[in-house]
Structures are given as C-alpha cells and as structure tokens.
C-alpha cells in the first residue's frame, strides 16, 4: 500500500494531467480524439528525471540529461496530430530522447522504429517503455540523419531534433504518400514543417515556429 504522501502526489499528477489536456491541448488546436486519448494515457512523469516529476505536466520542455530536453506536451501532441498516424503505419522516429514521443506514437501506430545517437538515452528510454509494457518499438543507436540502417521505407517519419533541411536519406526512406515532420531551420529558432511525398517530391506545409535542440549528424549540424 502506498503512503499518504504518494497518494497525494498521485492525485496532484492526475490533476495536472487533466489540466494539460484541457488547457494546453484541447484549449489550443489539438482536436484529434486519438491524439488526446493517447496523451491522457501515457504517463509523462515516467520519462523525466525524478526531481522533475512534479512538473511533468507543465507546458514546458524539461531536461532529460546529456544537454537534451523532452519537448513540451503541446509540441508532442501537435507533431503527432500533423503526422496523421494510424494502426497501419510504420513510423520512423529520429531522436528517441526520453522515449516519451516514442511511446505516444507506439500507442497509435503498428510499429515504431526509433534511432538515437546517445547510447545512455536510448537505454533509459528502452527501460521505461519496457516498464510500461509497450512492445511494438525497435530501438537503434546511431546517426538517424542517415536513415534507418536497413533498406526499407516508412509510412511516417518524425524528427525530434532540428535540421537545416529534410535529410535526403530520410526523404528516400519515406514511402509514396507518406508524411514527414521536422523542425527545419538554420538558427536556434525553427519552423515546424510537415510534408507529404507525391511522385517522389515533397509538398510542404508550415505548421508554426518552434525551438528544438539540434540534430548532430552527417545530414544535420556539426557537433
């Protein structure tokens, strides 16, 4: 049996999660019922350092170690919404980080393939997803800007770190009629861009301004 303090913390996290859904997601432009359902289900507090648990449902990014951050809930929901993921989708995610976005995608997709350049972050994310019983995810450690290290295509591709432009190997691994979303820009402020591939070409739409850590890699930024 949990202590009274644990019970109290649990209640306030539930309340904070409710507030996030009402105020930061539904209160803005997150309307997809499946996205809202999954944002309500995945416990964000599991993906942040223990001293940040109480802040897990605030609408801000949080540190996850190695100078990296877990994106604010609104941005995770927005990227998921514009990606239009369904049960038939195989999704490639570049930048596993804490694994929170991975978990959200895994609850909507057939399968998620996620690649992270930090071995430690990938290992921590794998442990959390295992604990949550999410088993439709494949993890790799490496430079995701070069694509998944096997020849294949994906229905959806998401980059959770900023790139100067859509990396060519990722565009090549996007299936026809597939969707790719990424923060694109040269500076510390980027545009969230979503694109659909038709006849081998990307049709782009700008979603909003955003601020992400940089993707470090061959088709990203230099270290």
Instruction: State the catalytic residues.
Output: 71
100 near ligand SAH (CB under 6 A): yes
118 near ligand SAH (CB under 6 A): yes
Exposure of 76 in the CB half-sphere (CA atoms within 13 A): 32
Q: Which candidate, 81, 115, 74, 75, places its Cα nearest to that of 97?
A: 115
Contacts of residue 124, defined as CB under 8 A and 6 or more positions apart, other chains included, come to: 65, 98, 99
107 near ligand SAH (CB under 6 A): no
Residue nearer to ligand SAH on the CB measure, 89 or 129: 129
80 near ligand SAH (CB under 6 A): no
Choose which of 80, 98, 173, 190 interacts with ligand SAH (CB under 6 A). Answer: 98
Residue nearer to ligand SAH on the CB measure, 177 or 218: 218
The DSSP H or E segment spanning 138 is strand 137-141
Chain residues 22-51 in contact with ligand SAH, contact rule CB under 6 A: none
Q: How far apart are alpha carbons 155 and 106 in whole angstroms?
A: 14
124 near ligand SAH (CB under 6 A): no
163 near ligand SAH (CB under 6 A): no
Beta strands per DSSP E along 24-101? 62-65, 68-70, 90-94
Beta bridge partners of 216: 221
Q: Which residues bind ligand SAH (CB under 6 A)?
A: 64, 68-71, 94-95, 97-98, 100-101, 115-118, 121, 143-145, 160-161, 213, 215-217, 220
């Amino acid at each position: 049996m949990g202590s009274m303090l644990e019970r109290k913390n649990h209640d306030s996290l539930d309340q904070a999660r409710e507030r996030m859904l009402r105020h930061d997601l539904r209160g803005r432009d997150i309307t997809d019922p499946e996205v809202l359902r999954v944002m309500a289900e995945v416990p964000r507090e599991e993906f942040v350092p223990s001293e940040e648990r109480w802040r897990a449902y605030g609408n801000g990014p949080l540190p996850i170690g190695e100078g990296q951050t877990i994106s604010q809930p609104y941005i995770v929901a927005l990227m998921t919404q514009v990606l239009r993921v369904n049960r038939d989708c195989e999704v490639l995610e570049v930048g596993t980080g804490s694994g929170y976005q991975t978990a959200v995608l895994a609850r909507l997709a057939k399968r998620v393939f996620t690649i992270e350049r930090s071995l430690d972050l990938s290992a921590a994310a794998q442990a959390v997803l295992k604990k949550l019983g999410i088993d439709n995810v494949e993890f790799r450690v490496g430079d995701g800007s070069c694509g998944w290290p096997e020849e294949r295509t994906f229905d959806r591709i998401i980059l959770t770190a900023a790139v100067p432009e859509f990396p060519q190997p990722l565009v090549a691994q996007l299936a026809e009629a597939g969707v790719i979303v990424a923060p694109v820009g040269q500076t510390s402020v980027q545009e969230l861009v979503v694109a659909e591939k038709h006849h081998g070409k990307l049709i782009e739409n700008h979603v909003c301004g955003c601020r992400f850590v940089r993707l470090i890699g061959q088709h990203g930024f230099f270290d």
